[in-house]
């Protein structure tokens, strides 16, 4: 029949059928016949949609950066979205307007505005190393943004693929990073050389300390040997002193004994002693006699000694 059509949509598409301005069908994945002249059909996709984006912003130090990423969203309230944007179709599921394409643009613009407030408070170097912070800020703020609530959209994910500076600034940062790495390498080489010098000095100090200890041990050994020699000499000197003292005491003892023996004989005439001892030989007696004559020479007037007597006295007895 003229004007009667059949519509069948996937489960990921929500259908709104209006007849003469009133909503008569509302649901996902529906299949039905409808009279086209009096019906208006709106198809709202429920599946998640990936919307890539690239936008430029300026950092707090007035450096331009390019932020590239992807926004993933899905429709959570089809009626609310259909009331804001025109998702009506004509013919074979062809949208009447370009409003469905504006949805991604609106969400991307909202994400860019939120990202701008974060980027303008940070320097270029901070942002290049803080992409995760930007993602967390935008994703948390975008889920509560008024435009998202008005459109009936649920934000699933917000990804940052890359944050890039201008080519000139990238080269400058690369040069600075290269110089920093070279400086760190030089510092590492310097530190390694210093460590080697310190280790060599420590080894040398240990060697010197070892030599000092060895010399001290040698000196202690020499001192011990010298002390032993001194002790031996002192003992030897003490022994000699003791021996001399003993000899002296022995001599003194003998002298005392001899003195004690001779003391009583001091008052006795020697002639008596000779007589007591047996008179001695004839020569000694004659010698004693001549001594007596010599002592009493003043008393003797004349003394004649014959040659024969002298000869006999001087001749030695034959054994």
> In terms of C-beta density within 10 A (0-12 exposed, 13-18 middle, 19 or more buried), how is residue 213 classed?
exposed
Residue-averaged pLDDT of the chain? 84
How many Cα atoms are found within 13 Å in the side-chain-facing hemisphere of 139?
A: 16
Outline where the chain has alpha helix (H): 78-84, 99-119, 124-128, 131-142, 146-151, 167-262, 270-276, 282-295, 307-314
Convert the pLDDT of each residue in 94-130 to its tens digit: 888 888 988 999 999 999 999 999 999 988 888 888 8
Q: Check residue 276 and give its pLDDT.
A: 62
Average pLDDT of the segment spanning 78-90: 90
Average pLDDT of the segment spanning 294-302: 68
Cα 139 from Cα 114, distance rounded (Å): 9
Q: Which residue has the higher pLDDT, 319 or 245?
A: 245
Eight-class DSSP state of 316: P
Average pLDDT of the segment spanning 276-290: 63
Q: Check residue 301 and give its pLDDT.
A: 65
Query: Which residues are 162's β-sheet partners?
Result: 68
pLDDT at 70 over 90: yes
CA angle centred on 54, ends 108 and 73, rounded to 5°: 35
In this prediction, residue 271 has a pLDDT band, given cuts at 50, 70 and 90, of: low
Average pLDDT of the segment spanning 119-145: 88
Share of the chain above pLDDT 70, in %: 82
Residues of the chain with CATH 3.30.479.30: 4-170
Least confident of 215-224, 241-250, 263-272: 263-272
pLDDT at 278 over 90: no
Query: How far, in whole angstroms, is CA 147 from its chain's centroid?
Result: 57
In this prediction, residue 154 has a pLDDT band, given cuts at 50, 70 and 90, of: very high
pLDDT at 211 over 80: yes
Q: Which of 15, 7, 85 is nearest to 45 (CA)?
A: 15
Average pLDDT of the segment spanning 252-272: 73
Cα 261 from Cα 84, distance rounded (Å): 161
Q: Mapping DSSP to helix (H, G, I), strand (E, B) and coil, where does residue 180 land?
A: helix
DSSP character string of 61-128: TS-EEEEEEEEEEEES-HHHHHHHS--EEETTTEESSSHHHHHHHHHHHHHHHHHHHHHTTS-HHHHH
Per CATH, the number for 4-170 is 3.30.479.30
Cα 4 from Cα 106, distance rounded (Å): 36
- What six digits make up the tokens of 190? 């310097």
Convert the pLDDT of each residue in 18-38 to its tens digit: 998 899 999 999 999 888 888
pLDDT at 280 over 60: no
Average pLDDT of the segment spanning 235-254: 85
pLDDT at 227 over 90: no
Mean pLDDT is highest, among 95-104, 287-296, 304-313, for: 95-104
Average pLDDT of the segment spanning 238-262: 83
pLDDT at 226 over 90: no
Contact 29, 11 (CB under 8 A): yes
Least confident of 55-59, 125-129, 174-178, 216-220: 174-178
Average pLDDT of the segment spanning 53-59: 92
In this prediction, residue 319 has a pLDDT band, given cuts at 50, 70 and 90, of: very low
């Amino acid at each position: 029949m003229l004007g009667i059509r059949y519509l069948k949509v996937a489960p990921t598409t929500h259908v709104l059928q209006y007849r003469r301005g009133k909503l008569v069908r509302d649901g996902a994945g529906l299949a039905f016949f409808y009279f086209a002249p009096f019906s208006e059909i709106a198809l709202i996709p429920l599946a998640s949609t990936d919307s890539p984006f690239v936008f430029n912003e300026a950092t707090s130090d007035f450096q331009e950066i390019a932020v590239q990423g992807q926004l993933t969203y899905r429709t959570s309230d089809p009626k609310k979205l259909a009331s804001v944007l025109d998702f009506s179709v004509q013919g074979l599921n062809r949208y009447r307007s370009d409003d469905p394409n504006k949805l991604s643009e609106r969400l991307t613009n909202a994400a860019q505005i939120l990202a701008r407030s974060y980027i303008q408070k940070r320097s270029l170097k901070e942002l290049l190393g803080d992409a995760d912070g930007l993602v967390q800020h935008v994703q948390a703020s975008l889920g509560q943004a008024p435009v998202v609530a008005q459109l009936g959209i649920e934000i699933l994910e917000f990804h940052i693929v890359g944050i890039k500076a201008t080519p000139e600034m990238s080269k400058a940062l690369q040069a600075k990073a290269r110089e920093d790495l070279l400086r760190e390498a030089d510092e590492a080489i310097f530190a390694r050389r210093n460590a080697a010098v310190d280790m060599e000095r420590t080894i040398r100090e240990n060697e010197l300390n070892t030599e000092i200890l060895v010399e001290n041990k040698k000196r202690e050994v020499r001192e011990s040997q010298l002390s032993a020699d001194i002790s031996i000499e002192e003992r030897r000197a003490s022994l000699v002193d003791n021996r001399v003292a003993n000899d002296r005491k022995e001599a003194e003892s003998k002298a005392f004994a001899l003195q004690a023996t001779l003391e009583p004989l001091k008052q006795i005439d020697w002639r008596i002693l000779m007589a007591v001892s047996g008179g001695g030989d004839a020569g000694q007696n004659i010698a004693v006699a001549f001594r007596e004559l010599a002592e009493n020479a003043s008393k003797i007037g004349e003394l004649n000694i014959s040659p024969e007597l002298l000869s006999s006295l001087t001749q030695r007895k034959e054994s």
